[in-house]
Amino acid sequence: MKRLLFFALFAYVAWYGWNHRDGLRRGPHSEAVIENATSRPVTRIRLRSGGETVVREELAPGASATIPIAPVTNGEFHLVWQWGDAPGEPQWNGHLAGSGPTSRYRFRIEDVGTVSSSSEPIPLPAR
């Protein structure tokens, strides 16, 4: 009986670890905050940084989305989006200097298709 109980406990721990492996390994991360400062919806937003692409499907007018991203070493970003009511894909390329091991990068999409950007450090939690 003890062996069966031990095996069941081991199987549960293995199952839990496998299904939650991304959350268990997550260390310090940066954030990308994408703001839609326009009067129309933005769809299919793609942010590429450090070889990783993060996708957000839709962002309503005046809304923002906070997306965790891996710490950025070179600070190069590529933002591509589509307007919900117009064809084409506006693009923005830029370089933002990270400030510390974890940073918050802000991208504000304006009505004319321009992007204003900034970065700030994220304070690490006290231990």
Closest CA to 47 of 65, 24, 22: 65
DSSP of 49-89, one letter per residue?
ETTEEEEEEEE-TT-EEEEEEPPPSS-EEEEEEEETTS-S-
Query: What is the phi/psi pair of residue 13, to 5°?
Result: -60, -40
Using DSSP's 3-state secondary structure scheme, residue 107 falls into strand
Using the CB atoms, write b or e for 15-25: b if 16+ within 10 Å.
eeeeeeeeeee
> Which DSSP state fits 94?
E
Least confident span in 27-31, 54-58, 102-106: 27-31
**Token pair for residue 12?**
């549960």
Please tell me the predicted confidence (pLDDT) of residue 102: 79
- The predicted pLDDT at position 49 comes to 83
Taking only the tens place, the pLDDT of each residue in 15-25 is: 887 777 665 55
pLDDT of residue 110 exceeding 80, the answer is yes
User: What is the tens place of the pLDDT at every residue in 36-64?
Assistant: 998 889 988 999 887 788 888 889 999 99
pTM beyond 0.75: no
